[in-house]
């Protein structure tokens, strides 16, 4: 079996690592870095970009059971864990295309309600497909699924996947459709998942400009699935694609995940600017400089600059910052109007993902020595120690520098990069 071109690009200068053997076994390797400890398979990219501070060591191999023809997706059993709006929409979209999908509910009562009414209170006016099964029997559903899609809040991913992982089929593919960073550790969602699975399961990240209400309504949309194994990526791509929802695939798991997580932070800032009536010029500047912050931190963690110009970066940022459907933008808008964070959480029933992600991003940026001026000031606003208007004045008062494409971004954009 030949290494596919996109797989080769994922490894870049590490082409000497033959990752896929003819037998279909995948060799997993761990990067041990003097700058930031050790990491899972996602650190392979980092090993090529941290100026010789990483050594790459083989740690295990696993048999990839997903080598069957991508055309056979109709017979693949899929479990979707999470009955929030996004979980319901993802499950419904796949089921509408004839996929064998089961939505895992939190309780028997919730499963009975969704099954009997074929409606979710989180997605008003959208009927669940008749073919979509709903069950609260997590063990039974997970133990039969070849693909498990996790669609739970970022701060509860560890708890939820801890319940899922003991029941996974050998080699089952796990897809994270959650955008965020774990606040206690700064880990991405695929890293949280990998802390349970090790190298026993392929893990994908699913992201992009995907406002749930629009996708539920069948409006045109595009998203991206990232996986180090392009064959697994093709399978997940085929399973998620619908006539109105175009799915691309990518090899840069780190960049795709960080784009989806960090854009929520910038959306909060845009909401605050909107609430302060700062104007379109100010919002355009925030989006542009916010994208620069996302890319800067992403590259420091091993992501690729060009990824942030794609669906998971710029695409998701534009959708989240411009749409009134965006919860993060709405949270920022209400903060600017004087509402306290505690009151916002109480009235909405949950916190927008951008709030904990801001804190996690600042922790990671401090560890990596990366400057995030917008995110830093936003953290003070969220904590209630800085007035939103003062935050704007401090941003404008920063010393102006050159707007430039840094060396790593230039390398990614060059024909040979």
Q: Which residues are catalytic?
A: 263
Beta strand 203-207 pairing with 221-226: antiparallel
The Cα 86–Cα 207 span in angstroms is: 11
Specify whether the CB–CB gap between 251 and 6 falls below 8 A.
Answer: yes
The Cα 293–Cα 268 span in angstroms is: 14
Phi-psi region at 137: left, alpha or beta (left = phi > 0; alpha = psi -120 to 50): beta
Give the residues across from 61 on adjacent strands.
27
The token pair at 199 is 């190298």
The Cα 241–Cα 238 span in angstroms is: 5
């Amino acid at each position: 079996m030949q290494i596919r071109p996109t797989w080769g690009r994922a490894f870049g200068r590490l082409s000497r690592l033959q990752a896929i053997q003819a037998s279909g076994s995948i060799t997993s390797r761990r990067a041990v870095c003097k700058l930031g400890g050790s990491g899972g398979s996602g650190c392979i990219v980092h090993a090529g970009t941290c100026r010789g501070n990483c050594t790459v060591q083989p740690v295990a191999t696993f048999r990839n059971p997903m080598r069957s023809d991508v055309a056979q997706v109709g017979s693949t059993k899929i479990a979707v864990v999470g009955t929030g709006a996004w979980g319901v929409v993802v499950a419904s979209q796949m089921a509408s295309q004839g996929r064998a999908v089961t939505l895992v509910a939190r309780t028997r009562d919730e499963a009975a309600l969704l099954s009997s009414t074929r409606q979710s209170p989180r997605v008003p006016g959208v009927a669940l497909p008749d073919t979509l099964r709903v069950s609260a029997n997590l063990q039974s559903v997970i133990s039969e699924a070849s693909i498990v899609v996790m669609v739970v809040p970022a701060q509860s991913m560890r708890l939820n996947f801890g319940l899922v992982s003991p029941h996974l089929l050998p080699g089952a593919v796990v897809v994270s459709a959650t955008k965020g960073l774990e606040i206690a550790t700064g880990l991405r969602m695929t890293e949280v998942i990998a802390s349970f699975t090790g190298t026993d399961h392929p893990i994908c990240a699913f992201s992009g400009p995907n406002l749930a209400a629009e996708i539920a309504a069948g409006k045109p949309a595009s998203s991206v699935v990232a996986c180090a194994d392009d064959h697994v990526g093709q399978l997940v791509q085929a399973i998620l694609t619908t006539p109105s929802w175009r799915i691309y695939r990518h090899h840069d798991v780190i960049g795709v995940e960080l784009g989806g997580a960090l854009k929520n932070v910038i959306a909060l800032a845009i909401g605050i600017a909107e609430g302060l009536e700062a104007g379109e010029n100010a919002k355009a500047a925030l989006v542009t400089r916010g994208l620069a912050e996302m890319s800067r931190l992403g590259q420091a963690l091993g992501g690729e600059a060009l990824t942030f110009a794609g669906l998971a970066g710029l695409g998701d940022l534009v959708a989240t910052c411009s749409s009134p459907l965006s919860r993060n933008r709405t949270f920022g808008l209400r903060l600017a109007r004087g509402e306290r964070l505690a009151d916002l959480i109480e009235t909405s029933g949950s916190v927008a993902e951008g709030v904990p992600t801001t804190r996690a991003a600042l922790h990671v940026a401090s560890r990596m020595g990366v400057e995030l001026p917008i995110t830093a000031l936003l953290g003070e606003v969220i904590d209630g120690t800085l007035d939103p208007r003062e935050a704007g004045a401090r941003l404008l008062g920063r010393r102006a520098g050159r707007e430039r494409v840094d060396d790593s971004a230039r390398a990614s954009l060059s024909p040979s990069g």
